[in-house]
Amino acid sequence: MNPPATIPVSPLFPSKQQGFTLLEVLIAIAILAISLSAIFGSQAQSLALAAEAQFNIRAATLAKAKLAEYESGVAPVEDGDGDFGDDFPGFAWKIEVQDADLSEILPASADPEQPLQRVDLTVSWENAGLSYTLRCYISKEINR
């Protein structure tokens, strides 16, 4: 009796190599490096934008609080600068006051005495080099 015939089994890949070639590994590492650098770059940009957004919120709040002091008459409306003390270290303010130029919007027959002052209040964060400026117009009557 003859033994049963066997069918030769061939591997899926006729090559005798097993595993990855060096070129395949290098390409995979290059793709991984490019994708990780893009992810880390966008993460760093996201953190910087979040810090700037936090500054804008805090600076707007500080500027409005400082401006409220002038509008309420607690402090005279005049040029000056300072900081916000130990509560907000690194934050400083500067105020510049000048007569408002309303000649472009008022008719020529209007009273030449300008009733408003233009106030520019700048809050800066020295540690990050950021600044926020709030401009408003205040009646000259507040200073009297």
pLDDT tens figures, 36-59 = 999 999 999 999 999 899 999 999
| Among 12-21, 40-49, 77-86, the least confident range | 12-21
* Residue 8 forms part of a structural domain: no
* Residue 117 forms part of a structural domain: yes
Range of the domain at 34: 22-143
* Residue 6 forms part of a structural domain: no
The more confident residue out of 23 and 117 is: 23
142 secondary structure, DSSP code: G
Given a cut of 90, whether residue 6 has pLDDT beyond it is no
143 secondary structure, DSSP code: G
Number of domains forming the structure of the chain: 1
Matching residue, tokens 């106030």: 119
**Please, what is the Cα angle at 31 between 28 and 36, to 5 degrees?**
125
Q: What is the structure's pLDDT at 5?
A: 63
- How many angstroms from the chain centroid is the CA of residue 27? 37
**Cα 141 to Cα 144: distance, rounded to the nearest angstrom:** 5
* Residue 81 forms part of a structural domain: yes
Q: What is the structure's pLDDT at 71?
A: 81
* Residue 54 forms part of a structural domain: yes
10 secondary structure, DSSP code: P
**Cα 13 to Cα 3: distance, rounded to the nearest angstrom:** 29
Sign of CA dihedral 89, 123, 82, 69: negative
Residue 37 CB neighbour total at 10 angstroms? 10
Three-class SS state of 25: helix
**Cα 60 to Cα 137: distance, rounded to the nearest angstrom:** 16
* Residue 133 forms part of a structural domain: yes
* Residue 124 forms part of a structural domain: yes
Given a cut of 80, whether residue 3 has pLDDT beyond it is no
Q: What is the structure's pLDDT at 70?
A: 81
Phi–psi pair at 25, nearest 5 degrees: -65, -45
Within 13 A of 91's CA, how many CA atoms are on the CB side?
19
* Residue 59 forms part of a structural domain: yes
